[in-house]
Structure 1
Amino acid sequence: MVALSRRMGSPEGKTMTVHYLVAGLGQKPNGGLRIIYEQARRLAERGHRVELHHFERFPSDRLRRVPRNVWNFLSAIRAKPPRWINLPDSVVRHYHLVARMPVVMPSDKIVATYWKTHELIEANKQAGVDYFYLIQGFETWIAGEARLHRQWRDASTNLVVSKHLERMVKGVSGNAILIPNAVDFDFFAETGARRRNRTILFCSMASSNKGSKDIVEALELLHQSGCEFEIRSFGDTHPATFGLSLPCEHFQLPDQTVIRDLYGSASLFVSASYSEGWGLTLAEATLCGCALVASNAEGHFEFLRPGRSAFFFRRGQAQAIARKLRFLLDRPELRSRLNRNARADLSPYTWEQSVDLLEQALGIADRLSSSRSPRITGTDCAPASDRGNHGRRG
């Protein structure tokens, strides 16, 4: 692919490049990776040079994983780009079997996007290069709290995607710049597809953090109570893997157009995540007309208000999920009101404003007019301990 660049008006008159360091080869979509790709695409559309560096393995990986790493790497570089990837040709994608720092020039920007890629930066810092750490979640189940806290303190500049992460990271390091996540209002919208009145949709993922097993248990309880409904799902794991015995139309890693149509066909979307940085699928489902039932993971409160724009439940409580679903299945007017309110609360989170802030944080912004100043006001966030029963109706 051909990389395009432009002079950014720096005092030296040099072209600057943004390098994203990404763990994994990008073959399976997830919210964090999609945000990285969306940032890269939109920076490139504004004339910046952007390069994505995908790493299959890291020096700290165990040797027994090497054969699998090599196989994944060879499969990825031979395959066509996944259907969900939507990048212009000006964004260059590099594949590295073993993680290593890219060759960079002074004034280049390096953005670590995962704790392992940040450790790569720590070991290879170069004078004159600006380093950033994009933090999209508090992934203690992967790296451990002490390790993450140390990285936040050591990072040159922490970029966070939500206000609750900003508070958390600033509390540890005193260093955090808020770059709110956003959603594509033009793409994710109601398409006129027939909405099924009693259809429940969820994202079924292998990661235990996503709570798919809790949703499956809730659906079984809902069925046992005599409630009639249909189930649809998408993701990397069929719900039957978690013990679902009911009929379910599952879509394995579909592209974004299919996901949009699935949102548009459902009356309810449920997320049972134990931890979320922001809640991307909830935002997308909102714009496509779904009413929401969500866990009290911190990121879900970034743009949703309990009882006003979504019904919430305490993490890990399948019976609570079943109660919320049954209550809303029987009340289409309430579902419509929740969706209208959620759309209103989500309206400030545009990509134009998010990328304005990203350019400023990276130090590559042209002079911005006051009319482009972001106005992300967000929503009130009650302490997590108080949230479990908010929006509890009936």
Structure 2
Amino acid sequence: MAFHKLKLFYKKMTISFLLPGPSIYPAGGYKVIFEYANRLAQEGYKVNVVYAGSLFWRKKSILFKLSAIARYLQKRWVGFSSDWFSFHPNVQEHLTYSLNYRHVPISDIYICSTPFTAMYMNSYPIKQNSKFYFIQGYENWGGINDDQLKETYRFPCNKIAVSKWLADIVKSEGEDCPVIPNGFDFTQFKCSIPISERPDNIIGIVYSPIQCKGFKYGYEALILAHKQRADLKVIMFGTDLEPENLPKWITYIRCPDTNQINEIYNNISIFVAPSIQEGWGLTVGEAMICGAAVVCSNNKGYLEMSQDGITALVSPVCDSKVMASNILKLMSDSLLRQKIALNGMNNIKQFTIDKSFLLMKKSLGIK
């Protein structure tokens, strides 16, 4: 399918992002979309961020429908705005009963970001060059299998992927798919503590109970490494409640804001990223910007930024022993740690939000 462009006839074009629901806690995929929404708004476009109150209502049980109604009314009453992100005044958040066309604000461009939201957008009675599918991960979960997911990649709309490996999958389905790497805001994240002045024994890791994030394997690696180096200390952070029975050498910080996250990255010497699958991997890039040496798994998203022995030490997915060995290697060799950290910091500079935004506007056919 040819990749169509939509010409801009007037500045105040309306653009709507379609999301499966509100996110009360920071989420990487949402953050990327919100950043694009803000930048579009700053340039004079009217931007809607549309959250679904429910998905595929008619297919649900009576019990689910009743609970969905209650949740929808609660969000209407209590609020549904993503308070963890500061939106531009030209960005409007909407909570709709569903993402059916009649419930969504009329727009010149619609951008979906998940298989479920793509299914809704596919039914919209509008021209193909007004529909865009922003693919941020291989989302064959939550009731979607591989065949159903790949069917969404063949929907008649324009596709955009955040990484080469995702674009390759879309292209294997006979579709065009430009790549727009996730860019970083180097005013939000920066190296404030010199790499050479950091102690070798302070490690950082993100906690998430979601299976594909692979926390289990990162945690096992830290336990193994601590048995060899009793001075190892960990700063763990995340949006969920603190895991139970953490050892005393692990400090947990829940829901840190951007400034706190920046401070964490700058106070660690090594950042451990154990995900089984990532579309991209924002935290790896953020840690690199701030001067932490990265120890990560070899999932395809991380490999867009990480080259083993050069910008990171990379281990096989789900291999706690090799990951522990890589942690210990950097802890015991300060020059290697500094080399990996510096290489990572220099390499990540190519991925700027300004460059990604220009590519996004080009893909959307606007100037």
Same fold by TM (over 0.5)?
yes
Match of 2:191 in 1: 190
User: Aligned pair 1:237/2:234, yes or no?
Assistant: no
**Secondary structure, aligned partner of 1:98:** coil
The size of the alignment, in residue pairs, is: 354
1:94-141 deviations in Å (ceiling 9; x for gaps): 112433331315xx0000011111111122332476001000111223
Do the aligned partners of residues 160 and 198 (structure 1) sit closer, same or farther apart at CA in structure 2, a change above 3 Å counting? same
Q: TM-score, normalised by structure 1?
A: 0.83
For structure 1, which segment, 111-120 or 344-353, has the greater mean C-alpha deviation from structure 2 after superposition?
344-353
Query: Are the aligned partners of 1:133 and 1:159 in contact in 2 as well (CA < 8 Å)?
Result: yes
Which of the numbers 60, 63, 87 marks the counterpart of 1:62? 60
Match of 2:211 in 1: 208
**Rounded Cα–Cα distance in structure 1 between residues aligned with 2:48 and 2:105:** 11
Unaligned runs of 5+ in 1: 1-7, 366-394
Match of 1:3 in 2: none
Match of 1:344 in 2: 346
The amino acid across from 1:43 in the alignment is: L
CA drift of 1:220 comes to: 1.7
Do the aligned partners of residues 27 and 74 (structure 1) sit closer, same or farther apart at CA in structure 2, a change above 3 Å counting? farther
**Rounded Cα–Cα distance in structure 2 between residues aligned with 1:67 and 1:204:** 33
Do the aligned partners of residues 65 and 250 (structure 1) sit closer, same or farther apart at CA in structure 2, a change above 3 Å counting? farther
CA drift of 1:213 comes to: 1.0
For structure 1, which segment, 88-97 or 123-132, has the greater mean C-alpha deviation from structure 2 after superposition?
123-132
Structure with larger RCO (C-alpha < 8 A, sep 6+): 2
The amino acid across from 2:125 in the alignment is: K
1:202-236 deviations in Å (ceiling 9; x for gaps): 11112100011111111222223344211111113
For structure 1, which segment, 31-40 or 123-132, has the greater mean C-alpha deviation from structure 2 after superposition?
123-132
Summarize the alignment of residues 360-375 of structure 1 with structure 2, pairs less than 5 Å apart. Answer: 360-365=362-367
Match of 2:266 in 1: 264
**Rounded Cα–Cα distance in structure 2 between residues aligned with 1:66 and 1:325:** 48
The amino acid across from 1:173 in the alignment is: G
For structure 1, which segment, 90-99 or 57-66, has the greater mean C-alpha deviation from structure 2 after superposition?
57-66
Do the aligned partners of residues 283 and 67 (structure 1) sit closer, same or farther apart at CA in structure 2, a change above 3 Å counting? farther
Query: Are the aligned partners of 2:315 and 2:323 in contact in 1 as well (CA < 8 Å)?
Result: yes
Match of 1:42 in 2: 39
**Rounded Cα–Cα distance in structure 2 between residues aligned with 1:287 and 1:75:** 40
Summarize the alignment of residues 1-394 of structure 1 with structure 2, pairs less than 5 Å apart. Answer: 10-11=8-9, 13=10, 15-60=12-57, 62-63=60-61, 64-66=63-65, 68-77=67-76, 78-79=78-79, 81-101=81-101, 102-105=104-107, 108-127=108-127, 130-142=130-142, 143-192=144-193, 195-238=198-241, 240-241=243-244, 244-365=246-367
The amino acid across from 1:313 in the alignment is: S
Do the aligned partners of residues 333 and 25 (structure 1) sit closer, same or farther apart at CA in structure 2, a change above 3 Å counting? same
**Secondary structure, aligned partner of 1:344:** helix
**Rounded Cα–Cα distance in structure 2 between residues aligned with 1:48 and 1:14:** 6
Query: Are the aligned partners of 1:160 and 1:176 in contact in 2 as well (CA < 8 Å)?
Result: yes
**Secondary structure, aligned partner of 1:294:** strand
**Rounded Cα–Cα distance in structure 1 between residues aligned with 2:146 and 2:43:** 37
Superposition RMSD in Å:
2.3
